[in-house]
Amino acid sequence: MYAAYWVNGFDLHGAFFNGTMWGPDEQISSPSDTTDVNSFIFTSSSTVYAIWHDGKSGMLRFGTRGINGGWAVNNMGLGEVQSAASIPRYSLPITATFDPAGSRFFIFWYNATRQAIDQWSGSGSSWVLTPGVFSTAPASGEYTITSYYRAASVGTNSTFGVMWVDQLSAPYNLNFGLVTLPSRTPPSSPYFDYIVTIVMENQGINNTYGAHCSGNCSTSLNYRIATGLLGTIPLLGILAFRIISL
């Protein structure tokens, strides 16, 4: 099991659970990165992947952790704004999906100014930006977007959906965009997942982030888990999980 955790505006961390005990805290992002509320974690076999946006540089980043540990980080490209606060919004209008058949990732950015949804696709250090894969109606405020966590094999294709809300006032539209990709190799095993949220006890966040918190991080800790089994998580607070069987 692997757990990734972050506080909005701080760096990204993780820890590995070997079935008996939790390993030490791991630094996924650079300590100087400032994450958005929306960061993402995926797994394939024994490899863990993370996607996040750095609010200081405006860069989308992609991290890979191998079976022996250690994170390799690549830049995907500049996002469309510096940070959520610059729009202003609570969180960036982004979502991510993993295609296990093609071992590729898709990141979607809802650009309300251009009334379009743009897509980054790729893996590692190789990424392609495709503007305007979907068009939207005008939207304002906390307009939302989400997508399937993983693509599914349907016939000879990989398929998943992207959902978003638009219109400036009620009645709002809930939209669905279908993405269909030629499959390269069918998935080797079934999987399941649960969406996860953790509200961590204040002292636990201070222990992880130390001086960054100035002694008080009374806020929600974002938390996602990639796993092949369940174990006890040594954290205090309200707990929920995103779990993926390997």
Peptide bond connecting 24 to the previous residue in cis, omega within 30 degrees of 0: no
Q: What pLDDT, on a 0 to 100 scale, did the predictor assign at position 224?
A: 54
Give which of 162, 168, 77, 72 is closest to 115, Cα–Cα.
Answer: 168
Interior angle at CA 35, CA 83 and CA 8, nearest 5: 95
Cα(first)–Cα(last) distance of the chain, in Å?
9
Residue among 160, 186, 14, 190 at smallest CA distance from 95: 160
Q: Which of 15, 90, 95 is nearest to 55 (CA)?
A: 90
3-state DSSP assignment of residue 196: coil
Q: Would you mind telling me the total number of residues written for the chain in this entry?
A: 246
What pLDDT is stored for residue 45 in this prediction?
87
Closest CA to 226 of 199, 203, 192, 202: 192
**Where are the chain's structural domains?**
1-52+193-246
Residues contacting 169, CB < 8 A, separation 6+:
none
Query: Which amino acid, residue 122?
Result: G
Name every residue whose Cβ is closer than 8 Å to that of residue 207 and which is 6 or more positions away in sequence.
Answer: none
Low-confidence ranges of the chain (pLDDT < 50): 186-209, 213-221, 227-246
In whole angstroms, how far apart are CA 217 and each of 7, 13, 212? 9, 15, 9
pLDDT at 201: 36
pLDDT 10s digits, 69-81:
899 999 999 999 8
For residue 33, the SS3 value is coil
Q: How does pLDDT run across 169-216, given as a tens digit for each residue?
A: 999 999 999 999 986 654 444 444 443 333 333 334 444 445 554 444
**Residue 119 and residue 132 in contact, taking contact as beta carbons nearer than 8 Å:** no
